[in-house]
Amino acid sequence: MSPFENSSRYSQNSYVIDLKKVKTVSLSQVMGLLSFMFLAMAAGAFLVPPQYFMPAVILEFALLLIIPIINRQAVVRGNDPAAGLTAGLSLLFAACAGVVLGPIVQSLAATTDGLAVLGEAALVTFIVFAAFGAYGVMTKRNLNIMAKALFVGLLILLGITILSMFFSTFFSPFGLLIGIGGAILFSLMTALDFQRAKYSSADNAVLVTLSIFLDFVNLFTFILNIFLIFGGGGGMRKR
């Protein structure tokens, strides 16, 4: 669901060709920025009142357009995007993502049972995210061959999600299948993005990290929805 895919995702072959010409991304740099983004997201989810949900949604979409532009300007000037405004805006974006999740997170955290569900969903998400991320980094297979199929799956999932907002009665019986499908889709996208990060240029470090962060956020959202369905909550759409 990331618009950075068009600007930061190239074919595996082009990465390999450019390795000798362009400084590649350090995975430690990606994980470092990703860690700070997780902290910003947690702060937004737990500390910001729910009434800021809509302003956060608007700012989040605005940042999706602004960050690539700022990143491109930094590269043209010869600056390191990861050490400047681009990185700062990515942290703001992560905080907004947390605020968007805030209403459901704060609602669950208000009760013992809800907090347990939230913790279990977060733990499972981190395990799946770490496993597929490690696979993406270590595998010698070219995962880019599944990019088109994942993109089609992403469009289908987005379409179903939008339709479910208007026809919730029809789609509610399929909530579990949608949750499982979304979790599988973003698990595979996590592996793909981590492999792409391995071959990306340092100029795209922030954009690559943002793509990986969005994989995590979406993965967490679908896994949490699965836990809520099994727990009798009916999923996030009913809250």
Q: Which residue's entry shows tokens 């492999």?
A: 195
Q: How far apart are CA 214 and CA 208, in angstroms?
A: 10
pLDDT for the residue numbered 13: 44
Report the pLDDT value the prediction gives residue 51, as an integer from 0 to 100: 93
Chain Cα centroid distance, residue 150:
14
141 φ, ψ (degrees, to nearest 5) = -75, 145
**CA angle (124 as vertex; 155, 180 as ends), nearest 5:** 35
Q: How many domains does the chain have?
A: 1
Instruction: Please give the pLDDT value at position 83.
Output: 76
Both tokens of residue 212?
A: 């990986």
Helix, strand, or coil (residue 25): coil
Output the pLDDT for position 166.
Answer: 72
27-47 vs 175-199: helix crossing angle, rounded to 10: 140
Largest CA distance in the chain: 55
> pLDDT at position 19, please?
41
CA–CA separation, 28 and 90 (whole Å) = 17
Give me the domain span that covers residue 109. 5-238
Burial label for 16, CB within 10 Å (0-12, 13-18, 19+), is exposed
What's the rounded Cα separation, in Å, for the pair 81 and 113?
A: 42
- For residue 231, the 8-state DSSP code is T
pLDDT one digit per residue (tens) for the chain, 239 residues: 444 444 444 444 444 434 445 567 778 888 999 999 999 999 999 999 999 999 999 999 999 999 999 999 988 888 777 778 899 999 999 999 999 999 999 999 999 999 999 999 999 999 999 999 999 999 999 999 999 999 999 999 888 877 777 766 655 667 788 889 999 999 999 999 999 988 887 788 899 999 999 999 999 999 999 999 887 555 554 44
Q: Which two tokens stand for residue 46?
A: 């737990």
Query: pTM of this prediction?
Result: 0.83
Q: Which two tokens stand for residue 141?
A: 């297979």
- Compute the radius of gyration of the chain from its Cα atoms: 18
* DSSP character at residue 234: -
Find how far residue 224's CA is from the centre of its chain. Answer: 14
Nearest CA-CA partner of 194 in 211, 181, 176:
211
